[in-house]
Every structure is written in structure tokens, then in C-alpha cells.
Amino acid sequence: MARTHDLSSGIDRELERALIEPPIESSAYGENHAFWIHDELSGLQINGHLNTTDDLGDFSLRLGKLSVAFPDGRILQSREAGPGTTASTPASATMRFRCIEPFRRWNCDYAGVMQDVTIGRSYLTGAPLDPPRIPVRFSIDTQMVAPAWMQGALTPEGLGPVKAFIGGERYEQLFKHTGTLEVDGVTVAVSGFGNRTHRYGTRNLAAGPGAMRMLGHVWSAAVFPSGAAFGLQIFPTVDGGILWGEAFTVVDGALARAEIVDAPWLRHYRPNGEGFAIRLRRFDGDVVEIEGETLLSVPGMMIPAATAGEQIPIFQSAVRYRLGDETAVNMLERSLRRSSIETGVGRPL
């Protein structure tokens, strides 16, 4: 891959530093760092999040949320909180992300105990309902290979109606990585591509009466061995229209805005084997088509609602993407109202 000179996209390097104190007095203000890490050979996905615990009144603690998912359906998860965050290293009790060089290099470490929450495993084996505990360690070195994308920066109106859903200011950046993962006492090498995010501000996914609420989204991104890359986020309206969307491709080492022609909306609960196409229209009129196939999916949070049909499940998937003759494994996150998934009513085309 060719070295790109300004991977920050002009974003202040100081924003790479973790917050030690909240800049405003608000229980809704928070900060999140996340890494989506994929092994190109096996397709496994490591998805780690470090969130401030501002809602609990202690900004010094970070909540670490981690899932390790395998294409055979095995899913390990952990959720714990702890101190230890510094300006260069957000950390919980067992996980830390260390900034080595802003917008260029980060390291991700974990050493702890995860639970095997594979669906049906306890029932099929007659094991106790308490999920088995599994010791897990990993150390992953990441090197950024595409400029950072600040959501809203490519749209004249900025984030507009979705700023509360995005959660304030948020940027992400594609990377390649190498490292090791130890599970069940067996250590394997992992390498491939991924995506990281950094968010700071206030988030509201389920607004109160009279206010807009999030009804679903598609978030997809990938980088290929040649350095070609794309990213997109899109949100629907209640009747299946488009509330807001933004996308980019990488052209000559820089982000170039693109129009979203087709996005892979969540249409069913199928965990893998789903084929789809993403179509993005570039500024020169050419349409870039990226093919994808889901390798695995991990159920995320369920956004609550007054009725079951209005609840919004979030699914986080590893996908093998294809662009021309190149392939790469990277991330896909989707959500939609249950009623739209199950009946098709109000679902974007």
C-alpha cells in the first residue's frame, strides 16, 4: 500500500487523546473508542469497545465490551469496567487501546475471562445455564492505511438530523493489523484489516415524546490490499425513505464523497451466507460496486421501544467484500425496526 501523507484528514491530533475529565457537566456526555479486527484467513471477528461510565457518575472508569466471534458460530463475550485510562491509553480492567502515533498506529491488548455465549450450546450439552468461562488474551498492532473519516464532513449540512444518533462528533479509520489471539490455551496468529472509531459527545438513540428517534441504520466499511477503500452510513425515515446518508471512496490517497445508490439493509436475522451489493456513485459519475457476503453475525444491543415491533435489534457482522479482483474481510453493522424486518413494511428498498 502507498503511504498517505495526511491520514488525519485535518482532524486535530489532540482529539486522539482519551478524555480524563468530561468537558461539560452532563450525564449524557461520553466518549467511546472501538476496534473491529478481522482475521483474513479464518474470518473471525474481534470487536472491542471502551466507553466512559459517565452515566454512573464516575468518568474515570471505562466499560470494556468485547466479543470474539468465529465462523463456526462460536461467540465469546465479556463486559467489565475498571480504571487505568491515561491520555494515550483508554483502558478498562482487562482491555486497553494504546495510541502509539496519532492517526497512524494503535495497539490493542486484552487479558481476561470471557463467557462462551454460543446459542444453544448449554441446552444441547445439558451444561448449567451459567455460560462457560474461557481465558482469552490478544495483542494486536494496527497501522492506519486510509485517511480518517469525520462523519458529516463530506456533507454540506453536516450530520443534520442524525447528530444525536451518531453521538456528537465521531470519526473512524481503516487499518491493517498483525497480532496473536489465545483462546483455550491455543495461540494463533491473526492478520488482516479492520476499522476503528472514536466518538465524543452526547448520544440519544430513543428520544422522548415529540422528538425524532433512530429507526435503523447501515454502517459498512472496508479497505483492500491495493489501498482502495470505502465507507458509508445511512439512516431511514419511518416510511422507508432516506433520512441521512454519507459515503466515501479513497481516490489518490484522499477521501472523496460518494452518493449511496444501494445499501445492504437488514432484511432478516440470517447470521451468515447473505450475499449483497453496495453501489456508490463517485463525483465523476462512475458507479463503484462492492460485493459482500456475511461470514458471521453477533447480536448487539436491542434499542427499546413501547412495542415489540418498534424495538430495533443491532447486528454486527464480519463480511468478505470483493472489489474487482480484490477481496478483504471487514465490518458491517445494521439495525432496523423489527416490524420492518419481519413484514417489509417501511423497509428501505
Which of residues 123 and 218 earns the better pLDDT score?
A: 218
Question: What pTM does this model have?
Answer: 0.94
Number of domains in the chain: 1
Q: Is residue 16 part of a domain?
A: no
How far is CA 315 from each of CA 190, 235, 260, 273, 308, rounded to the nearest angstrom?
Answer: 23, 15, 21, 14, 17
Task: Give the rounded distance of the alpha carbon of 3 from its chain centre.
Answer: 24
Residues 90-93: contacts with CB under 8 Å, at least 24 apart: 90/18, 90/31, 90/33, 90/50, 90/62, 91/50, 91/62, 92/50, 92/61, 92/62, 92/63, 92/64, 93/64
State what percent of residues in the chain have pLDDT above 90: 80
Query: What integer pLDDT is reported at residue 54 of this predicted model?
Result: 64
For a pLDDT cut of 70, what percent of the chain falls above it? 92
H helices of 220-301, in order, are: none
Question: Does the residue 213 lie in any domain?
Answer: yes
Predicted pLDDT at 127 = 54
- Would you say residue 287 lies in a domain? yes
Q: Which tens digits make up the pLDDT trace of 80-124? A: 999 999 999 999 999 999 999 999 999 999 999 999 998 655 444
Report the alpha-carbon distance of residue 33 to residue 55 in Å, rounded.
17
- Give 5-29 pLDDT, tens digit per residue: 689 999 999 999 999 988 877 667 8
Residue 11 lies in a domain: no
Mean pLDDT, rounded, for 302-310: 91
Q: Could you list the residue range(s) of the whole structural domain that residue 132 is in?
A: 29-343
Residue 244: name the closest of 335, 159, 169 by CA.
159
Residue 21 CA to its chain's centroid (Å): 25
Tell me the per-residue pLDDT of 154-196, one tens digit each, with 9 for 90 and over.
999 999 999 989 989 999 999 999 999 999 999 999 999 999 9
pLDDT greater than 50 at residue 45: yes
Confidence band, pLDDT 50/70/90 cuts, at residue 264: very high
Residue 52 lies in a domain: yes
Q: Is 184 buried (19+), middle (13-18) or exposed (0-12) by CB count in 10 A?
A: exposed
- Rounded to whole angstroms, the Cα distance separating 35 from 225 reads 19
Asked whether 22 and 11 are in contact (CB, 8 A), the reply is: no
Find the largest Cα–Cα distance for the chain. 59
- Please give the Cα distance from 138 to 147 (Å, whole number): 26
Confidence category of residue 292, pLDDT binned at 50, 70, 90: very high
Question: So what's the pLDDT on residue 55?
Answer: 67
**pLDDT tens-digit readout, 118-165:** 865 544 455 556 789 999 999 999 999 999 999 999 999 999 999 989
How far is the C-alpha of 95 from the C-alpha of 235, rounded, in Å?
31
Rounded Cα–Cα distance for residues 68 and 319 (Å): 15
What is the pLDDT at residue 232?
A: 98
Instruction: Say if residues 49 and 64 touch (Cβ distance below 8 Å).
Output: yes
On whether residue 282 sits in a domain, the answer given is yes
Q: Answer whether residue 71 is part of any domain.
A: yes
Model confidence band, residue 67 (pLDDT cutoffs 50, 70, 90): very high
Residue-level pLDDT at 207: 55
Per DSSP, the three-state class of 125 is: helix
How far lies 100's CA from each of 58, 82, 141, in Å?
26, 22, 10
Alpha helices in the chain (DSSP H): 121-125, 163-166, 338-343
Q: What is the mean pLDDT of the chain?
A: 92
- CA triple 207-209-211, angle to 5 deg: 50
